[in-house]
Amino acid sequence: MRVLITGSTGVVGRDVLRSLAGLGPDLALTAVTRRPTGPGEVAWTLGAQPPPEQVHGRWDVIVHTAASTRWSMSRAEALAANVAPLEAVLGLADERTHLVHLSTAYADGADPAELPAPSAFGRYRNGYEWSKAECERLVRDRHPGPLTVVRPPLIIGSRADGAIGRFTGPYTLMQTLVSGLAAAVVGDPDGYAELAPVDQVAEVVRAAVTGAPPTEARTEVIAGGANCLRLSELLDLVCGTLNEWRAERGIAPITAPPFIPTRRWHRFFLPLAEEHLSEVQLQVVQLLGMFESYTSLGKPFEPTRPVLDPGDTLVRSVRWWADHKPRLAARIPEPWQLVVA
């Protein structure tokens, strides 16, 4: 079986490549990435360069994990980063190719009335989410063969030990907590925060690759559902785990920041922040604000692949981060100070 995987050095792609590489000699695996880091990986900037010679020919399965997950992308940037690469991948597939496309659990967007602030992308929270929805529409319209769409939410480390190849997304919260830059958490303490272990995402992709191709487009949603954490539980676990790690090293604990309801934040606190905070503090506020609608969902997703122990995996993920970023995890938080004009 001839299998192509894109984005093999990404957060998910790395685990998928490792999982597929262990399937044995019957699987002829080709991995492409913009910046190869291992033997056998092929350099290709999808959507910006013509396909290299190594990707020519017919593919039994294409696993498309390559994507930019940056939330601050403009529409043009998101098209170039995510939609154009998918178009390049579709040019390699035919009616017999099983395309396994990594999307996001947020690809359906949200009711604009429920978003914390008006979005330039309508029902979508940001350019990344909008582009992944565009990709789903494109792949469903144009791919003539078997299709599996895999939808994970925010991704954390593996279930066994919390390991992950790159610290993105939720790990920003850990860094801001220990630095003191997270002066408050904006959102509903009782809101839902969906998390998925990276190894479980890779497991779902591997099952799609090795199983029978679907006769109709299939969507796999990886989420906690009934096991989903509330935002207050997530914050307690992150702060509690960090403080256990710090106590083992004789470092003073951090204090969990207070919650500020979303409406109050946008009506009262954000205008003051824009006037009185430093440029760095304001950038952190804006970054954390992007998490609002992801950590305060009104209801959890309905999974086809349930995450059974998101809390336990989160604890392991926090410890993995602290062990691999000890200087950051050991920081003494610095209190915020207002900028006096």
Degrees, nearest 5: CA angle 135-85-163: 85
Closest C-alpha among 111, 62, 126 to residue 88: 62
For the chain, domain boundaries: 2-151, 168-193+224-299+308-341
Instruction: Point out the least confidently predicted range of 144-158, 199-213, 247-261, 309-323.
Output: 247-261
Query: Are 150 and 103 contacting, i.e. CB atoms less than 8 angstroms apart?
Result: yes
Other Cβ atoms within 10 Å of 156 Cβ, number? 25
Q: Is the pLDDT of residue 339 over 60?
A: no
Higher pLDDT, 189 or 285: 189
Instruction: Give CA separation, 196 vs 185, 203, 242, 266, 314, in Å.
Output: 21, 12, 20, 29, 9
Report pLDDT digits (tens) over 53-101: 999 999 999 999 999 998 889 999 999 999 999 999 999 999 999 999 9
Q: Is the pLDDT of residue 337 over 60?
A: no
Q: pLDDT value at position 290?
A: 67
Q: pLDDT value at position 271?
A: 74
Instruction: Give CA separation, 54 vs 48, 81, 132, 257, in Å.
Output: 17, 22, 27, 51
Report pLDDT digits (tens) over 321-335: 999 999 999 998 876
Confidence band (pLDDT; 50, 70, 90) for 275? confident
Can you tell me the mean pLDDT for 265-285? 70
Q: pLDDT value at position 157?
A: 98
Higher pLDDT, 32 or 72: 32
Report pLDDT digits (tens) over 208-231: 999 999 999 999 999 999 999 999
Q: pLDDT value at position 286?
A: 65
CATH topology of domain 2-151: Rossmann fold (3.40.50)
Q: Is the pLDDT of residue 341 over 70?
A: no
Confidence band (pLDDT; 50, 70, 90) for 197? very high
Q: pLDDT value at position 103?
A: 98
Q: pLDDT value at position 116?
A: 66
**Identity of the residue numbered 4:** L
**What does the alpha-carbon distance between residue 98 and residue 61 come to, in Å, rounded to a whole number?**
5
Quickly list DSSP for 21-82.
HTT-TT-EEEEEESS--STT-EE--TTTSPPPGGG-S--SEEEE------TT--HHHHIIII
Closest C-alpha among 87, 102, 129, 105 to residue 8: 102
Confidence band (pLDDT; 50, 70, 90) for 111? confident
